[in-house]
């Protein structure tokens, strides 16, 4: 019987998940620092728009990164 597993191995899945979560944490930290260490619960859409505009204009971050 031939068994082929096409899904990523468990440890590869864990590494990908950790990498993704680490990146999210870094973006959240950047967002908080950009707004003077205010808590995100205190902010609304205008702060998010300001951060994204800053990324696009000053950081020259791609649209896919902003999304």
The pLDDT-based confidence of 8 (bands split at 50, 70, 90) is confident
Structural contact between residues 31 and 40, judged by C-beta atoms closer than 8 angstroms = yes
Look at residue 55 and tell me if it is in a domain.
yes
Q: What is the span of the domain harbouring residue 48?
A: 13-36+43-66
- Residue the block writes with tokens 């899904």: 7
Whole-number Å distance between alpha carbons of 16 and 23 = 11
Q: Please check whether residue 8 lies inside any domain of the structure.
A: no
Query: ∠ at Cα 16 (62, 49), nearest 5°?
Result: 30
Residue 21 lies in a domain: yes
Q: Please report the DSSP string for 49-67 in residue order.
A: HHHHHHHHHTS---HHHH-
How many of the other CB atoms lie within 10 Å of CB of 51?
A: 19
Domain count, the chain: 1
Residue 3 lies in a domain: no
For residue range 12-50, what is the model confidence (pLDDT) as tens digits?
999 999 999 999 999 999 999 999 999 999 999 999 999
- Structural domain contains residue 7: no
């Amino acid at each position: 019987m031939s068994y082929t597993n096409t899904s990523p191995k468990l440890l590869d899945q864990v590494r990908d998940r950790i990498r993704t979560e680490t990146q999210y944490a870094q973006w959240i930290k950047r967002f908080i620092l950009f707004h003077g260490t205010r808590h995100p619960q205190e902010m609304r859409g205008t702060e998010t728009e300001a951060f994204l505009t800053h990324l696009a204009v000053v950081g020259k971050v791609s649209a896919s990164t902003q999304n």
